[in-house]
Amino acid sequence: MVAGGHLLDVPTDVQIYSSQVKPISVKLVSVIADKMGLKQLCDDVSNAYVNAESSQKAYVPKAGYEFGSRKGMMIVIVKALYGLSASGADWHRHFSNSLHSYGFEPTRYDKDVWIRLSKDKTHYEYICTYVDDFMIASKQPEAIMKLIKKECSVKGEGPPLYCLGNDYKMHKGRSAIGCKKYITKVQCLE
């Protein structure tokens, strides 16, 4: 479902935007992962916003036929539906709370790069978040993915192939980061 957020006044008392990881931060985490021998996994949360409670007060004054037996009733929106202006921030707050509960803390440089010391205290583990997309760097990223999967549905789990404008490939046993997808033709201007 998508709410008609364009019909609501933009709230002035709540944060309405979701911050997102800086592209350079993703590159730095990839370099750290490569140097430290960490595996990387990327994924996308399915229908992310509806996992979060809405901070906005919104309703449907008269439900249509798509609401079945509730047709004609007033429907109060309690979930952060796509289309509401604060849903991005609501999802960010929800996912941040989850990462905190797993022991991660945001870094000082980029609050969308999360870090924690591994349980065996041999390395740091990282999660980069970009709205409903995320990248994990750890010796056992599957264990972190399992925690996330307990809370929400994910789609497309796998090693990074493309993330935030960067292509990822393995080259001679190391990660190679490029931007070939965006560069199709190089022209020299004189």
Q: Is 122 exposed, middle or buried (0-12, 13-18, 19+ CB in 10 A)?
A: exposed
pLDDT tens, position by position, 3-38: 655 555 555 555 556 678 888 898 899 889 989 999
Give the residue with greater pLDDT, 171 vs 37.
37
Q: Which long-range contacts (CB under 8 A, 24 or more apart) does 19-22 make?
A: 19/92, 19/111, 19/112, 20/112, 20/129, 20/130, 20/131, 21/110, 21/112, 21/113, 21/128, 21/129, 21/130, 21/164, 22/110, 22/112
The candidate with the shortest Cα–Cα distance to 75, out of 63, 86, 92, is 63
pLDDT at 168: 73
Q: Where are the beta strands (DSSP E) in 10-112?
A: 39-45, 53-60, 75-79, 105-106
- In order of start, what are the domains of the chain with their CATH numbers? 5-178 (3.30.70)
Q: Decide: helix, strand or coil at residue 65.
A: helix
Lowest mean pLDDT among 37-41, 114-118, 165-169, 184-188: 184-188
- Name the DSSP class of 9: P
- Please give the average per-residue pLDDT across 110-123, as a whole number: 95
pLDDT of residue 85 exceeding 60, the answer is: yes
Q: pLDDT digits over 43-71, tens only?
A: 888 888 888 888 878 788 888 888 899 89
Cβ neighbors of 113 (< 8 A, separation 6 or more) are: 21, 25, 29, 106, 107, 126, 127, 128
Residues above pLDDT 70, as percent of the chain = 76
Indicate the pLDDT class of residue 144, thresholds 50, 70 and 90: very high
Burial class of 79 by CB neighbour count within 10 A (0 to 12, 13 to 18, 19+) = middle
pLDDT of amino acid 67: 85
Closest residue by Cα to residue 126 from 1, 21, 11: 21
pLDDT number for residue 184? 58
Q: Which of 3-17, 83-97, 169-183 has the lowest mean pLDDT?
A: 3-17
Q: How far is CA 81 from CA 4, 40, 47, 61, 180, in A?
A: 9, 30, 9, 16, 34
pTM of the entire predicted model: 0.78
